[in-house]
Structures are given as C-alpha cells and as structure tokens.
Amino acid sequence: MYSRCEKKMKKKIFVMMLVCILGLSLASGILLAGEKKLKFAWCPTITDPFYFMIGRGAQKKANELGVDLFVSEYPKAWAPEIQVPILKAVATRGDIDLLFTGPSSTEALIAPLREIYAMGIEVITVDTYIGDGDYSKPSDYSFPLAYIGTDNFLGGKEVAEHLAKMIGYKGKVFVETTNPDVSSVVNRVKGFKEGIKKYPDIELVGVEYCLDVQEKAQSQVAAALQANPDIVGIFGTNLYSAQGAYQAVVNAGLTGAVKIATWDATEDLIAALRSGKVDLILAQKPAEIGSLAVEWGYKYFHGEKVPKKIVPGFFFFTKDNVDKPESQQYIYK
Ligand code: T6T
C-alpha cells in the first residue's frame, strides 16, 4: 500500500511529466511552423513521355521529403520563345525556392535563367545544360546548382558500337536528330560519330534536324532513303526522331533491311522493337533524374554541398531482353 504522501508524490511526478511532454511538443510545433515548407518548381521543356517521367520521379521524392512541387505548363513545341515566358511566369509567382528545367538551347536560355537566379531562385538544369555544361568553373552560366542528366556522349558512342555490329561493320548510315543547339542530342550525335570512327567501312551519309517534330523526322528520313537507297543503318537520337525514322523505313518497305537504333523507351518504340521495326533502344532514367533534382535541391537547403554534375546511367533494350521482368522498369509509362 502506498502512503498518502507517496501517492501525492507520484501524482506530482506524473503532472510534471505531462507538462514536459506538452511543453516539448509545443516547442517543436512552433519550430515546425517557423520552418517554411520548401517549394520547388518543375518546368518541363516539351510535352513528351520523357518529361512526364521526370515529373513523376520528382513528385515521388517531393512527397517523401515534404517538399511542395509546382509543375508548370508543358510547352507544346521545343522552342526557347515558348519555354522562356513559362519560366518567367513561374519565377514571378514569388513563392518558388528552386526551379528545375531542361534548357531548350545551350545559349538562348543563359540570360533568362540567370535573371531567374538573380530573383533569388536556385536553378538546377536537368537533361540539358546551358553553355558547355561545366558549372564548376566560374562563367556567366555557372550559377545553376547542378546539371543532372544522362551521359549523352557515352550513350551515342555505345549506340554506334551496337549499330556497327548489327550492320556487319560496313555500309552507309544516317542520323536523324532534333536541334543543333541542344546539349543532349548534340552530344548523342558527337558520341555516335566518335563511335563509328574506328570502322573505316562505315560511312555517315547525313545528319538531319527535325526540330523535335515527328512528321518532319519521317519526311527527312524518307528523303534520305531516296537519295541513298543503300543506307543500312539509322540512328534516331530522341523519341520523335526515332519514331519518325522507323515509320519512314516501314513506309519504304525496308523493315529489317535497314537497322534502326533509337533513344528513349516510349511504349511506341517498345512495341516497335517487339515487332521488329526497330532494333535497339537506349532508355534513359528520367524518373531518377527528377527524383535526384528534388533530393539535391532539398539537401542544398539543408546545408549540403551539391555535386555540379550528377549522371544517372542508361539501359539498352534489345529484342532479347525487352520482355524480361527486370527490363520493364525502364519503359517510360
Ligand atoms: O530524349 C529526350 C531528352 O533527353 C532530349 O533532350 C529531348 O528529347 C527527349 O525529351 C525525348 O523526346
């Protein structure tokens, strides 16, 4: 049996503990309320499944970290004159801590992004970069926190290696790409050229720019096949170039005779691979790119040093692995 005094003592301790717990939670509540929730903006460069996937990865990470993610309008075409007004509208909202986007031109996006940075908004470029992409040395384009994207040069080089093998290391090849001033595709073409250099019997007969319009890619490849009926291999450097390229080959009745290496694992290209209309797909990791942008942005605001370049890998789809369960995660769904 407890004495009255012991009982009183216990009650006192219990009340004191309650007061402490209440005090602590109140204090932390005030702290939480005082710590502003971070708000990031994801500004896609064009309406396509690759950018939807970046957004999906970003949203998942934002949910995990408790970051607010604003997603801007998707531009209807690949063009600085369409992208820049969207970026400016997002920046002038006044509530964005960090904005991440894929610059639609290495040069034309430097000044607009610098203006946004000068408004106090941190910038990360994903998929594409400004200038030469080296943000580690001081320059008028080194203000972004980081560039996060695929090693496009390496990917282009490896595509060349695969395509060379598929065509027996000889014959004419053609490249369908989008723009001459967009870092991603420019480096894919450079890497491809480097890759085929070591095969003297392979001749690159042309590089055409469709400005990211599939119909234009299709007509350019059709024209190339007419001008060079002995083309044996084509590299389509992104999803619209690739989709246009294989359609042109199908229409010319050359499926199988002309080997097609493509980039970006859309469901359309995966179906084309299954049915033998394309022979190779390089899949980037867009969801990971989006996730990393949010994660590093968050870490930056919590005092961590951000690496200037972050490079997720890529994956090759062939007819042999396209149906394997472990490959399915790389499809842009
Ligand atoms: O290939 C991607 C992206 O990496 C490139 O910069 C632009 O085209 C895509 O969005 C695919 O359409």
Q: What is the pLDDT of residue 277?
A: 98
* Alpha carbon separation from 176 to 45, 173, 185 (Å, rounded): 20, 10, 10
In short, whether 238's Cβ falls inside 6 Å of ligand 1 is yes
Q: What is the pLDDT of residue 35?
A: 73
Q: What is the pLDDT of residue 34?
A: 53
Q: Which CATH class is domain 152-283?
A: alpha beta
Contact assessment for residue 127 and residue 52, using Cβ atoms and an 8 Å cutoff: no
Q: What is the whole-number distance in angstroms between the Cα of residue 238 and the centre of ligand 1? A: 5
CA–CA separation, 149 and 183 (whole Å): 10
Q: What is the dihedral of CA 185, 191, 195, 197, to 10 degrees?
A: 100
What residue's CA is closest to ligand 1, atom 12? Answer: 239
Q: What is the mean pLDDT of residues 46-62?
A: 98
Percent of the chain predicted with pLDDT > 70: 90
Q: Is the pLDDT of residue 29 over 70?
A: no
- In this prediction, residue 28 has a pLDDT band, given cuts at 50, 70 and 90, of very low
In short, whether 127's Cβ falls inside 6 Å of ligand 1 is yes
Looking at residue 63, its amino acid is N
Q: How many CB atoms lie within 10 A of CB 117?
A: 16
* Alpha carbon separation from 34 to 28, 157, 162, 218, 295 (Å, rounded): 9, 51, 55, 56, 22
**In CATH, 39-150+286-312 is 3.20.20.10:** no
List every span in the chain annotated with CATH 3.40.50.2300. Answer: 39-150+286-312, 152-283
- Partnered with residue 173 across adjacent β-strands are 204, 233
Q: What is the mean pLDDT of residues 165-170?
A: 98
Q: What is the mean pLDDT of residues 25-39?
A: 56
Tokens of 67: 């970051």
